[in-house]
Amino acid sequence: MVTISGKRLLFSTEGKAWRGKIMQFAQSPQVLIMGNKLRIYFSTRESNDEKFLSHVAYAEFDEKFKLLNFTDSEVLSLGSLGTYDEHGIFPLNVVRFKERIFGYVGGWNRRKSVQIDGAIGISESFDNGKTFVRIADGPIIDSSLSEPFLIGDPFVIHVNGTFHMWYIYGKEWIKDPITESFERIYKITHAISANGIDWTKDSLNSQLISDSIGPNEAQAMPTVIKINDAYYLFYCFREVFDFRENPKNTYRIGCSVSSDLRNWQSEEIEFEQQGHEEDWDSEMRCYPHAFTWKGKNYLAYNGNRFGEEGFGLAEILTSVR
């Protein structure tokens, strides 16, 4: 059993501006620890005609989680014409490796017959994480024979000399019989790498985490943390249709546990209620990111309306296994 304790809205978009406009959304929090400061990257939206573009910014917090500052410019520019990440970056998963800082890019591009496609790229920072540049313009993980589209949501850790990545791949675009729009089903999978750049996909079991609400379940944003001797994988999942407005069908956060990073067992998860002021995640919880800081384990995540109000933070408590 995992208990998510002391949850609160950590970063609110209310009253904030970004690049001269009202800040819309602060989604998919991703942490980089800077000594006594906590830096959290997030994606914010900028309207472009009727569509929007997601850009990466960050906010910094002190040891008591007081907001110190946030950036007013993008950390990594969008990709050039025709590339995998020209219409949005969501998330930017930031990983320290020795003296280097890599940024794994969840890149999105718009298509004609369906809304979007995605692939995963890599960038690197040479100014201590303030800005990132692409190692090259193409993706490091693209669609493949058994993962036909919608590659995204990278999360990378380095364990005993091997890089591990959890990410999502699209399985099917299916038509909502009521709205007649095409909606996507995606699942979580895993790849490994020796250098963080060249990856080998798992070929044995493509779908890593079993469905808990049925085959049409969409699973997203895997994040892995080691607590004591076990690995915990948090992710969000939802129904394929009517998930934007209907709280019954929308994202909630799930958890699986593993001792070997290969075999995952579903683990019960409970969010401790904080009282009436905690309305920010009353209907939806999505895009989790787990990290350890100063001896405690935390989960950052988004609440209602996919993080329009900002992102929250809570402590992860595990019972002795």
Residue ranges binding another protein (CB under 8 A)? 80-84, 86-87, 109-114, 117, 119, 121-122, 135-140, 142-150, 170, 172-173, 175, 182, 184, 197
Q: What angle do CA 244, 154, 151 make, to 5 degrees?
A: 70
200: its two tokens = 């080998």
Residues across the chain: 321
Residue 44 and residue 30: Cα distance in Å, rounded?
13
Within 10 angstroms of residue 308's Cβ, the number of other Cβ atoms is: 16
Q: How far is the CB of 57 from another protein (least distance, A)?
A: 23
Q: How far is the CB of 186 from another protein (least distance, A)?
A: 11
Is the separation of the CB atoms in 57 and 41 below 8 Å?
Answer: yes
**Site of tokens 């009436």:** 276
| Radius of gyration of the CA atoms of the chain, in A | 18
What's CA 295's distance to the chain center, in Å? 23
Is the separation of the CB atoms in 238 and 221 below 8 Å?
Answer: no
Q: How far is the CB of 83 from another protein (least distance, A)?
A: 5
Q: By C-beta, is 159 or 197 nearer to another protein? A: 197
Q: By C-beta, is 67 or 192 nearer to another protein? A: 192
Q: How far is the CB of 305 from another protein (least distance, A)?
A: 25
Q: By C-beta, is 122 or 269 nearer to another protein? A: 122
Residue 297 and residue 236: Cα distance in Å, rounded?
18
Q: By C-beta, is 181 or 265 nearer to another protein? A: 181
Strands in 115-161 per DSSP E: 116-125, 133-134, 149-159
Q: How far is the CB of 112 from another protein (least distance, A)?
A: 4
Q: By C-beta, is 91 or 170 nearer to another protein? A: 170
Q: What is the DSSP string of 227-266?
A: ETTEEEEEEEEE-SSS-SS-TTTS-EEEEEEESSSS--EE
82: its two tokens = 């025709």
Q: How far is the CB of 214 from another protein (least distance, A)?
A: 20
Q: How far is the CB of 148 from another protein (least distance, A)?
A: 3
